[in-house]
Amino acid sequence: MRRRRFLLSTAAADLGALLIGLVVASLVAFETPWPWEAELIGSESIWPLLGFFVGSAILASAFSVMTWAGSAPRPSYGRGLSVVLIGLALTALAVVVSRVYWSRPFLGTTAVVWLLGAITHRAIRRRTPWTEQMVLVTAEKELVEHLHDAPHADVLNVLDPGGDGDLDPIPPEVTLVVDLRSVLSDRMAQYVSSCTISGSTTRALTNVYEEHTGRLPIVHLAEGWELREPAIKTAPYQVAKRIIDVVLVAVAAPLALVMTMGLALLVRFSSPGPAIFKQCRTGLNGRRFTLYKLRTMRTDAESDGPRFATLDDDRLITAGRFLRKSRLDELPQLWNVLKGDLSLVGPRPEQESFVEQFNAEIPFYGQRHLIRPGVTGWAQVKYGYADDEADTIEKLTYDLYYVKNMSIWLDLHILGESIWTVLSGNGAR
């Protein structure tokens, strides 16, 4: 119920921002707050344009609401921008097709005020984030801790799946979250059944955990097809994603090339040796390819064999720490994107020796190769670099979440956070 209210109130606030934009735009363009009172030439009417605006806003908001299915809804600035852009695109298309009256100052002012309103109400809502109150039935302490830390999950109580005592009814608007992997006692099974019959919302722990943490609970995986099936369903988007990758890289190529050349000179001045570092990595379906990066370490960094990079790695060259923190060392990988080795967004490709080790030691590690790896990824923006095998397992929970939930919305979110990392320098080590 809270989830539904959040989504509907967000859509209503976006529509309210549009209406305010129409009033302000009418003042600017027609010197009246009511656009239908504007004095237009001849028999022109502004009502069709107003209808297109409102109809497009409703469609854009509905589309945004429908695509929240895989995660907990949050007051995202990116969502606000997308709603406005989609609404404007649909309005412009309707105007071109129907050839109704339109005004450039009216359209421009409406767009600016609408976007400012969408961003503003989201900024206010982020101060008091929407939360889902829940009672958990599970013995998985680590998953419980992750949910406790999730900003939109309010864990009220944790029940033992094998419990046999008295249990209170679930309060209204509280979700009963059941770990289907646990063996329930007769009393607990009866309690879960009673809560469901009484109308309480009952959900599986895996779904709730994914929505609120952006991770996949590896302990709940048992078969290979749990991830293969979702990956197969995203096949049409993967084709479109490849086209988008090529177009975006082509657009960014001139600036990226100039920056890469400048940074390459910085690397050469910082340390003797080549500016570009080449290394064999494992990609889509386990295929080998050569990955390109700006060199951040000494040329003899792996003379004793490959090992994880650390926070204060003594192998880093003078400019290396800056390049790694800002992620600018990844710029040459845009060439890998054009070649088809990488996508802009996906699980980061790992060295072959590490892949062989992790495939043998970490369950389901190979499933991250079901899709094309990326220059940046969900694990990178949520967790950062891995220092050891334990960190690799943590990152894998994010990578597998991405494999299962890959979408244009998630890709845009990851790209937005990655760009912010470059601009702010506040990335993970």
58-81: per-residue pLDDT in tens? 998 888 777 665 566 677 787 888
Residues 6+ apart with CB under 8 A from 399: 347, 368, 377, 378, 379
* pLDDT band per the 50, 70, 90 thresholds, residue 223: confident
Each residue of 368-402: pLDDT tens digit?
A: 999 999 999 999 888 877 777 888 999 999 999 99
Write down the pTM of the prediction: 0.79
User: 132-213 architecture in CATH?
Assistant: 3-Layer(aba) Sandwich (3.40)
Each residue of 29-39: pLDDT tens digit?
A: 888 888 888 77
What's the rounded Cα separation, in Å, for the pair 428 and 379? 11
Of 34, 37, 38, 60, nearest to 115 by C-alpha is: 60
Sequence spans of domains, the chain: 2-125, 132-213, 232-424
The pLDDT value given to residue 78: 75
**The pLDDT of residue 237 is above 60:** yes
Average pLDDT, the chain: 87
* pLDDT band per the 50, 70, 90 thresholds, residue 429: very low
> Which letter does DSSP use for residue 168 in this model?
P
3-state SS class at 76:
coil
Each residue of 339-377: pLDDT tens digit?
A: 999 999 999 999 998 999 999 999 899 999 999 999 999
What's the rounded Cα separation, in Å, for the pair 226 and 222? 8
SS3 of the chain: helix, strand, coil, percent, to 5: 60, 10, 30
CB–CB of 213/72 below 8 Å? Answer: no
What's the rounded Cα separation, in Å, for the pair 229 and 346? 17
The pLDDT value given to residue 310: 64
